[in-house]
Amino acid sequence: MEISIDVLIFYLVSLVVVGSACIVAFSRNIVHSAFSLLGTFGGVAGLYVFLGADFVAAVQVLIYVGGILVLILFAVMLTHRISDIDITNRTVGRIPGLVAVAVFLGILVYAIGETDWVKVKEVAYAPTTATIGNLFLGDYLLPFQIAAVVLLVALIGAITLSRKEIKE
């Protein structure tokens, strides 16, 4: 069987994504779970590169690794009793978790079955930045603006919540 090098790299990247996602889910140490997200986020950026989405890959690393992961780490590390190694990810119990997973799996399988998959054999490795910019400021201007307003509202909300009350 012919195994080309990019297929090999693809499976390597996928292994990193799935492997670190497994650590995120199964690790009994919540900090290890949080750090494993690094592999998941980074690996997904690698998958974007395979799809020829260079801009999205860089933004994935910038936002998810540089922003969201750091935020999660902050939240986890500043949690009370973090030195207790007993904190696990399990809080709800097995039965509700199992039901949720089963429902979600059903939806995923249905969605995968229904989707008309385009073969990504002919990925064009061309610059995508300008196209994305033109679409954002052209066809998708309204969703783009609404997303911006939602983010602004979230920002103001966060400031309001975390602001120290000045008491007389």
Partner 1 sequence: MEFTVHDFIQGLLPEAMPAALGYTLAAILVAVVVLSAFVAPLAGVTSWLERRVWARMQSRVGPNRVGPQGLLQWLADGVKNIQKEDIIPASADRKLFLLAPYIVFSGFLGAFVVIPFGSWLIPADLNIGILYLLAITSLVVVGILMAGWSSNNKWSLLGGMRSAAQIVSYEIPAGLAVLTVIFLSGTLSMQGIIQAQGWAPWDWFIFYNPFTLVAFFMFFVAALAEGNRTPFDIPEAESELVAGYVTEYSGMRFLFFFFAEWGNLYVIGAISATLFLGGWQIPATVFGMTMADHPLLKGVLEFTVFFLKAYLWAFVAMWVRGTLPRVRVDQLMAMCWKYMVPIAFICLFGTILFLVIWPEGNRALTFATLAFSGLVMLYFVWRVVFQIMHSRPTLYFKPYV
The residue range among 50-58, 90-98, 108-116, 148-156 that interacts with partner 1, by the rule CB under 8 A, is 50-58
61 binds partner 1 (CB under 8 A): yes
Measured from the CB atom, the residue of 14 and 55 that comes closer to partner 1 is 55
162 binds partner 1 (CB under 8 A): no
The residue range among 13-21, 53-61, 96-104, 134-142 that interacts with partner 1, by the rule CB under 8 A, is 53-61
62 binds partner 1 (CB under 8 A): yes
**Cβ within 8 Å of residue 56, ≥6 positions away:** 48, 128
DSSP of 112-134: HHHS-PPPGGG------HHHHHH
Cβ–Cβ < 8 Å for 16, 43: yes
Contact with partner 1 (CB under 8 A): which of 70, 75, 135, 149? 70
77 binds partner 1 (CB under 8 A): yes
CA distances from 25 to 17, 31, 90, 101, 142 (A): 12, 12, 10, 12, 37
48 binds partner 1 (CB under 8 A): no
CB of 6 to partner 1, least distance (A): 7
CA distances from 20 to 25, 39, 102 (A): 9, 6, 22
Measured from the CB atom, the residue of 8 and 109 that comes closer to partner 1 is 8
Instruction: With H, G, I as helix, E, B as strand and everything else as coil, classify residue 135.
Output: helix
| Token pair belonging to 73 | 């780490």
Distance separating alpha carbons of residues 67 and 73, to the nearest angstrom? 10
Interface ranges with partner 1 (CB under 8 A): 4-6, 31-32, 35, 38, 54-55, 58-59, 61-62, 65-67, 69-70, 73-74, 77-78, 127, 129
